[in-house]
Amino acid sequence: MARDVGDRQNIEHLVYNPFTDPPVLINATVALAVTDPAGAVTSPSITNSSTGTYQASFSLTSAGTWYWRWTVSGAVVDVADGQVTAVDPGPPMYATLDQLKAMRVLTTTDRDDDLTQALATASRRIDRSTGERQFWLDKTVSARTFRPTGRTYCAAEGEWLTVDDIGNLTGLIVEVGDGTTWTAVTDYQTGPDNALAKRKPITKLLRPLSTWWTLSTTLVRVTARWGWPAIPEEVVRAALIQANRLFGRKDSPEGVLGNAEWGIARVARVDPDVEALIGDLCLPGLA
């Protein structure tokens, strides 16, 4: 089974004495080598938790197949190999299948695939409708590059640079450069104030007027965990409403619903309640 990039892989190796009947666990000299998808080899620390039991762990920091080899020497001579494949996780759904089934009062599983597809489609529609925001938090840091022109504005305290949503300060690095050479900067502040404490993302970075972002700066590179600290409740509810509507389109193949009492009505592409829920989350256009 594949694991997601950013997951931690725990592995264990048991060393047995082959000369006893039955074989019993025995301590020996154990080494471990882990090879990442790029071919780099590391040696994670090993824990000898009990007689003959050796454990280790490492983070799957990149996509691809990871290999490891246990090498045993001393009282026992042995080699054991293992592997795991790490994949970049796809964007998550903003609500769960169980939540949608509860909304529709469904207990069977025969329509789970259709319901899941409706949830995934509704979630990605919310992303696009809000200016390509991602309301989940990346598991690992990655770098994104921004041009200050069109993304900055001046205030009394300095010059603000608007960036994509940052959902965690761990691993945050800010650099300026020309695309080839980069220089780290530390004289910046994040905003809005207390954003993360309010379960909202950091959306801008401030530098003093003496070191404007646009002052002899071509590009700004930011390494961060992108996204929101937690999925907003408005987004969860919007995803459920829109997914419910998408799933119900099987009953309105031409975009209309019929009823003996009130006749025929056209089904809107986006539920007005969804638009109201996510309206305040939409990003303004940037140059």
pLDDT in the model for residue 250 = 65
pLDDT in the model for residue 3 = 85
Distance of CA 70 to CAs 38, 75, 202, Å? 20, 15, 43
Q: Is the pLDDT of residue 225 over 60?
A: yes
Mean pLDDT for the stretch of residues 99-117: 93
Q: Is 66 or 211 the better-scoring residue by pLDDT? A: 66
Per-residue pLDDT tens over the stretch 146-190: 999 889 999 998 999 999 999 999 999 999 998 899 999 999 999
Mean pLDDT for the stretch of residues 134-148: 92
Task: Determine the Cα–Cα distance for residues 32 and 177; give it in Å rounded to an integer.
Answer: 40
pLDDT in the model for residue 266 = 44
pLDDT in the model for residue 134 = 92
Q: Please tell me the pTM assigned to this model.
A: 0.70
Q: Is the pLDDT of residue 78 over 50?
A: yes
Q: Is the pLDDT of residue 140 over 70?
A: yes
Q: List Cβ neighbours of 171 (8 Å cut-off, separation of 6 or more).
A: 141, 223, 224, 225
- Give the pLDDT band (50/70/90) at residue 51: very high
Q: Is the pLDDT of residue 258 over 50?
A: no
Structure tokens at 90: 């796809």
pLDDT in the model for residue 252 = 54
For residue 209, how many C-alpha atoms fall within 13 Å in the half-sphere facing its CB?
5
pLDDT in the model for residue 259 = 46
Q: List Cβ neighbours of 202 (8 Å cut-off, separation of 6 or more).
A: 163, 165, 166, 167, 169, 190, 191, 192, 195, 196
**Cβ atoms of 55 and 47 closer than 8 Å:** yes
Over the chain, what is the mean pLDDT?
89
Q: Please provide the DSSP assignment of the chain as one string.
A: --EETTPEEEEEEE-EETTSSS-EE---EEEEEEE-TTS-EE----EEEETTEEEEEEE--SSEEEEEEEEEESSS-EEEEEEEEEEPPPPPPSS-HHHHHHHHT---STTHHHHHHHHHHHHHHHHHHTTS---SB-SS-EEEEE-STTTEEEETTEEEEEEEEEEEEEEEEEEEESSSSEEE----EEESTTTGGGT--EEEEEE-GGG-TTSS-SEEEEEEEEB-SS--HHHHHHHHHHHHHHHHGGG-TTSEEEETTTEEEEPPSS-HHHHHHHGGGPPPP--
Distance of CA 224 to CAs 142, 166, 170, 257, Å? 6, 7, 7, 46
Mean pLDDT for the stretch of residues 255-284: 65
**Cβ atoms of 265 and 256 closer than 8 Å:** yes
Mean pLDDT for the stretch of residues 235-252: 87
pLDDT in the model for residue 260 = 45
Structure tokens at 181: 């050479």
